[in-house]
Amino acid sequence: MRDVVVVGAGPAGIHAAFLLAQAGLDVVLCEAQSRIGERAICSGVVGDEAFARFDLPKRPILADVRCIQAISPGGRTLEHCTEAPLAQVIDKGEFNRALAERAIAAGVDVQLGCCVNSLGVEKHSVAINFQSAEAGPARLRAQVAIITTGVNGSLSRALGLARPRQFLRALQTELTLPPNGHGTATRVYVGQDVAPGAFAWDIPLGNGKRRVGLMTEQNPEPYFTKLLQRIAPHTDLATLRIDRKGIAQAPVGRAVGERVVAAGEAAGHIKTTTGGGIYYGMLSAELVAEVVTRAFRTRSFSSQTLGEFERYWRSAFGNELMVGYFARKLAGHFTDRQIDGFFEVVRATDLLVRLNGRLKFDWHHRALLATLRALLTLPGGIGTS
C-alpha cells in the first residue's frame, strides 16, 4: 500500500509528487512513456513569475521574451516590450526531466513505462491497474490517486470527474531560418484566415531557430500550411516534424471524488486565453498537494475532505479561466475587418499604455475586463470606421 499514486509525469504531476514527498508521504509517479518529457508538445513560453514562485530549473531555458508583437489580418501591429524579461522560452522535454530529477531527490518513486489502464476506488484504497513495460500487467494500491494525465482524459471520464467545455486543436514545428527583420520579438498572428477562434505564433529560440505553431477551433491543417508558407515559403513541409495536440478549455464538473483528484490539464486548469498549461498546472499541483497532505493528517480521504481543492482552485484562478474563455470566444466571432478596427482603436487611444499596470503574463482577467470597458465607451463600437 502506497500513500499516493500520481498518474502522469507532466509538470503538474511531477510538481505534485515532489511536494507530497517533501511532506513525508510515500509517493509513486506513474508515467506511460519510457522517458520523461518524450514528445512533450508545448510552445514552451513560461512567465518569469512562474520561475520565481515555483523555483523552476533554469537549465532548460533557450531564450527570453522581452517583446511581443501582435499582427492583425491587415498587417497592423501592436507591440508590448519591456526591459526585463516577460517570460522564458524553454525546452519542454528538458524542463520535465529537470523537474523529475528534483522529485526523485525528494524521494518520489518514478515508474517509467507504466501505462495505467484503469483505476478503481475501493473502501480503504484506490486500486491502479497498469501495464508495465518490464513486467506486463500489474496492480498497485494507494490511499489516494491524483490524475495528471494532461489532455488524455480517459481516467477522468471513467471516474466521472471534470471534463473540458471545449478542445482547441494545435499544431507546431521548429524551423531554422535566416533573420526575418523583426529581431527577437515573439510574433502573434490573429484573424479568421489565420487561426479562427484563437491565434498563431512565431517564437525565436536563438541561433536562427524558431518555434512556429497555431491553435484553432477548426481543422488546423490548412491554416498551418498557410502559416508556414507565410513565414518560411521555401520550406519543404514533408521534412518537418509537426507535433499535434488538443488543448482543454475551461472545466465542467468537479475535479474531486472519493480518494481521487484530477489536477493540471486533466482538470482543465489551463490558461483559456493562450492555451498555456505550465503556470496553472503547477499552481493546481501546489493546491492539490496542500489538500492531500492535510487529508493524511486527519486520515480522511472522502470527496468532502478532498473537495477543499475545488474551493482553492476556483478562488485562486477560477475567474481567470472563465473570463479568458468567454473573451476568447467573443473575439473568435470578430471579422477580420473588426480585428483591424480593434488594432486601430488600441493604437489611437494608447490603450496598451493605459493598461500597463494590469498587463501580467499569467493573469489576464483584469486587463481583459478593462479592455472591454474601454471599448464599450467608444462611439460606434469596434471596426465601424
Residue ranges of domains in the chain, CATH in brackets? 2-58+91-165+248-328 (3.50.50.60)
Structure confidence at residue 384 (pLDDT) = 46
What is the pLDDT, as a whole number, of residue 366? 76
Q: By percentage, how much of the chain surpasses pLDDT 90? A: 76
What percent of the chain has pLDDT above 70? 94
The tens digit of pLDDT for each residue in 189-228 reads 999 999 999 999 999 998 889 999 999 999 999 999 999 9
Residue 274 scores a pLDDT above 80: yes
Taking residues 114-131, what's their average pLDDT? 95
233 pLDDT more than 60: yes
Mean pLDDT within 74-79: 93
**Residue 4 pLDDT greater than 50, yes or no:** yes
Per-residue pLDDT, 24: 98
52-56, 197-201, 355-359: range with lowest mean pLDDT: 355-359
pTM of the model: 0.93
Look at 63-67, 128-132, 259-263, 359-363 and tell me which has the smallest mean pLDDT: 359-363
Between 372 and 107, whose confidence is greater? 107
Structure confidence at residue 385 (pLDDT): 42
Of 384 and 206, which is predicted with more confidence?
206
pLDDT value at 371 more than 80: no
Residue 40 pLDDT > 80: no
SS (HEC) of the chain: CEEEEEECCCHHHHHHHHHHHHCCCCEEEEECCCCCCCCCCCCCEEEHHHHHHHCCCCCCEEEEECEEEEECCCCCEEEEECCCCCEEEECHHHHHHHHHHHHHHCCCEEEECEEEEEEEECCCCEEEEEEECCCEEEEEEEEEEEECCCCCCHHHHHCCCCEEEEEEEEEEEEEECCCCCCCCCEEEECCCCCCCCCEEEEEEEECCEEEEEEEECCCCHHHHHHHHHHHCCCCCHHHCCCEEEEEEEEEECCCEECCEEECHHHHCCCCCCCCCCHHHHHHHHHHHHHHHHHHHHHCCCCHHHHCHHHHHHHHHHHHHHHHHHHHHHHHCCCCHHHHHHHHHHHHHHCHHHHCHHHCCCCCCHHHHHHHHHHHHCCCCCCCCC
Q: Given this model, what pLDDT does residue 25 score? A: 98
9-23, 98-112, 228-242, 281-295: least confident range: 228-242
Q: Given this model, what pLDDT does residue 357 score?
A: 62
Q: What is the mean pLDDT of the chain?
A: 91
- Which of these ranges, 8-22, 138-152, 356-370, has the smallest mean pLDDT? 356-370
Residue 282 has a pLDDT of 96
Q: What is the mean pLDDT of residues 172-184?
A: 80
pLDDT of residue 177: 83
